[in-house]
Amino acid sequence: MMFKKKKNYYIKKDKSTPPKWVQKEGTNCDDIIFTDGKREIGFEEWLQEEYK
């Protein structure tokens, strides 16, 4: 028997760049520290950097 090949209707988009900032430590927005491997910043600075 001949079967039709199932079409893939969902196209996955791969992110080409990994996230720049990684949470290093902290549990709430008052003491979270983010790092990009070169420098460490607090939550407020991260918000300004991420949402310019």
Residue 41 inside a domain? The answer is yes
Instruction: Report the alpha-carbon distance of residue 3 to residue 5 in Å, rounded.
Output: 6
H or E element at residue 25: strand 22-25
Which is it for the CA torsion 42, 45, 50, 51, positive or negative? Answer: positive
Considering the domain boundaries, does residue 17 fall inside one?
A: no
Look at residue 20 in the predicted model and tell me its pLDDT. 82
Residue 6 lies in a domain: no
Residue-range definition of the domain harbouring residue 39: 22-52
12 domain-assigned: no
Is 30 part of any domain? yes
- The answer to whether position 4 is within a domain reads no
- Write out pLDDT tens, residues 5-45: 777 777 666 555 556 888 888 888 888 999 988 889 998 98
Whether residue 10 is contained in a domain is answered as: no
Q: Is residue 50 part of a domain?
A: yes
